[in-house]
Amino acid sequence: MELFSNQDIILTDNYKHIYIFGDSHCLCFGQNNTTVDNKYIIHVLNKDSASAKGLISTNSTLNYGETITQFINFKTYVKIKNIAYNTIESNNYYIFKFGQVDIEYNYYYKLIIKDEKITKNDFFNEVTDMYIQYLLQLNKLNIIVCGVNLPSPNNIKEYKYNILKLKTKSDFIENLTMEEINKDAIIFNQLLKQKCDINNIKYFDLIDECTYINKNEYYLKPDFIGNDHHYNGCRDLSSLKRFINNDDDYINHSLYKKTYHTFIGKLINVIETNMI
């Protein structure tokens, strides 16, 4: 697989264009434009802190769901104005990667700040139902859902700190383990996959590729462990380039290529295997 990161917009229907929407964890697929095998161009159009539930919520402050809808239907995008697209709609693919913010933050916000009596099971079902509802109303065949990542183990302290900022020092927060947090991601993905399957929506995740199992517990492989709550290499592009001497081809840099190549490779495989 040949990957190259660049900022040049290639305006041609000979390429298949892949648009990725979601929170900051979308940056595992790269940033700006990435060409793959001289056949695909990947555009990452993420919005930090975007949630799955917020896609269809009337109370969403980001209004990201409406922005995505406008882009897909009319190819307008307020954040990136020079994005390329195909006039042949069958060559456009729309990837959705949401849910991380919901399970790692919003659940605890509802439980602690809003004092709602809600279980994880009920909350996960509510979020995935709204997520699927949004995707179905787009009425597109070439939509693919990517499941959430396992949290980075380097982030357990930050994870607890962010929750504790929600005005609580309750024992169930203090005693949160990496195993429990990882299990939330696994359960959420299983539920999301079930609902995607029922509604004929293509689904994939990278749990098998990025984790190992020890005593029936999932753990993130060392190659993917980042410095914060993201996977290795999933960070602001300007900071990334400064750290690697402004290397334009950051996609293939030895420090980070494991993440990018794994995520992009799995995505391309899903597209080509399903011939969508």
Q: Which residue has the higher pLDDT, 186 or 275?
A: 186
pLDDT on residue 57: 77
User: How many domains does the chain contain in total?
Assistant: 1
166 within some domain? no
Average pLDDT estimate for 242-260: 83
Q: Which of 28, 20, 21 is nearest to 224 (CA)?
A: 28
E strand residue ranges, the chain: 3-6, 16-22, 33-36, 40-44, 92-97, 143-146, 202-204, 211-214, 217-220
- pLDDT tens digits along 106-146: 998 888 778 889 999 999 999 999 999 999 999 888 999 99
| Position 159 pLDDT exceeds 80 | no
**DSSP line for 159-215:** HHHHHHTTT---HHHHT--HHHHHHHHHHHHHHHHHHHHHTT-EEE--HHHHEEEET
| Position 79 pLDDT exceeds 50 | no
162 within some domain? no
Q: Which residue has the higher pLDDT, 105 or 173?
A: 105
54 within some domain? yes
Mean pLDDT, all residues of the chain: 86
pLDDT on residue 82: 57
pLDDT on residue 205: 98
**How far is 117 from 266, CA to CA, in rounded Å?**
38
Greatest Cα pair distance in the chain: 57
For helices 64-74 and 120-138, the axis angle rounded to 10 degrees is 30
62 within some domain? yes
What single DSSP character describes residue 216? T
- pLDDT tens digits along 15-57: 899 999 999 999 999 987 899 998 999 999 999 999 999 999 7
111 within some domain? no
Residue 237 backbone dihedrals phi, psi, to 5 degrees: -65, -40
Q: How many CB atoms lie within 10 A of CB 258?
A: 18
> Which CATH number fits the domain that encloses residue 95?
3.40.50.1110
pLDDT on residue 54: 94
Mapped onto helix, strand or coil, the DSSP state of residue 136 is helix
Domain membership of residue 10 as a residue range: 3-103+119-152+175-274
Q: Which residue has the higher pLDDT, 230 or 98?
A: 98
200 within some domain? yes
- pLDDT tens digits along 194-233: 999 999 999 999 999 999 999 999 999 999 998 888 999 8
87 within some domain? yes
**How far is 161 from 173, CA to CA, in rounded Å?**
9
91 within some domain? yes
| Position 92 pLDDT exceeds 60 | yes
**How far is 276 from 273, CA to CA, in rounded Å?**
8
Task: Kindly indicate the confidence band of residue 176, based on its pLDDT and cuts at 50, 70 and 90.
Answer: confident
pLDDT on residue 246: 65
Query: At CA 225, angle to CA 223 and CA 229, rounded to 5?
Result: 155
Sign of CA dihedral 131, 132, 136, 137: negative
